[in-house]
Structure 1
């Protein structure tokens, strides 16, 4: 082994002259949330790489893959078990290694079943996993898209049931079960699209329940979904870092919200800046 990180937890070690069968039962941790990480100053690239290598030795559940961006330069795409895991990792990076980084919005891995023979040859397989939204294939090359789902369990006092049910329905959740576990507490099970809960769902749940509701989730595989790639254009130029994969029903609302946030965030200039959201060749918002 040339590097320490080549030794994975769950590996079976044996003498090179006496091969054995690998011990069964171990499954590596599966990354559920992905985000890009880039140094604020490209001169800090080497120092940040060393810091990431040290942290990933202590936390083998973080996946690390080199990435580059026309706007942000060289960096990495990291996979985490959840949003809290990503926040803790980023905090450790700042506190223990004094690293200043730019973290892109968290995304989840999607899958696409390809239909075009030319594209299948290009990728080498019919089913592909899309980690970076910028690499999302066009609709005419795909039979259907798949998005990751999770089975979420919410335990809450019965005073807040109505507000929580409305929140879950707005996040495209499907209710599977609801039972009273005592006189005042309810346990609800919902099938959630993972991308609907990775950003602010937990905060909204706590806010609606005055902090009393609890939430847990487990992987529920991939389900077909009507997904589209939403590009953000500034003065007609695509900004790859702001590209997002959204459900078709929520494309207009998501694009409008992002454009309004950009309008408030971009400093005032002496010339007009057009902020647009586009789906394919259709410019939806200005």
Structure 2
């Protein structure tokens, strides 16, 4: 049995559980439960506050954890990042009142900056040779300039809507964050094997993101042109049809170029084109 720490609520909780469900691990989403066990995989979830997850994993209270990279870096955690998960994307940025003129990072010299991420901010300012006063507060950082607590803020930004609604503008980005899978140092062999199984499943799901499975009927004499358009992972799958002179061609295509490929294929005689969304891709 392996234990994974998950955020107890919020968007990262939902997206973490969705990912686990995609890899065949359904964990009960019961509220007010500290522990919940999966049925078809030897894993149990420990629900914690996001800022408690890094140290819980570091100390072995949980073997694994899914947490924002920003929280991992802020807690100076000794756990190991084993995989970036690609969801929960955001950035940590400096913001100032929208009426202020901004001509560069030197603006922050001598300023008070409110933040819930003093470690990351201090490192960023030191790298930029900026001397500023850091005002550490928890929650509602964006109101600090309006109430006179600070002249600027350093906080998580996703869409930027919260900054705008509080009369602020983003001027410098210190780091980009996303959800990461972390592990306690020196996992026991049995638990390392379970982690490897989990990573295998996650990577199979990730390979399908942004991909489409395309299949079509095409004149056999045009196959060489078609395979040049659709190279596939190794090469397209080609099957003969009962009707002489025709073949069926199957391939996986990047969604960004899907319509371009379809137009090229139709131009060389492809018919009955079917586009599907793959669920898993095992290499």
TM-score interval, normalised by the smaller of the two chains? under 0.3
Q: State which structure, 1 or 2, has the greater radius of gyration over its C-alpha atoms.
A: 2
When normalised by structure 2's length, the TM-score is: 0.28
Higher relative contact order (CA 8 A, sep 6+): 2
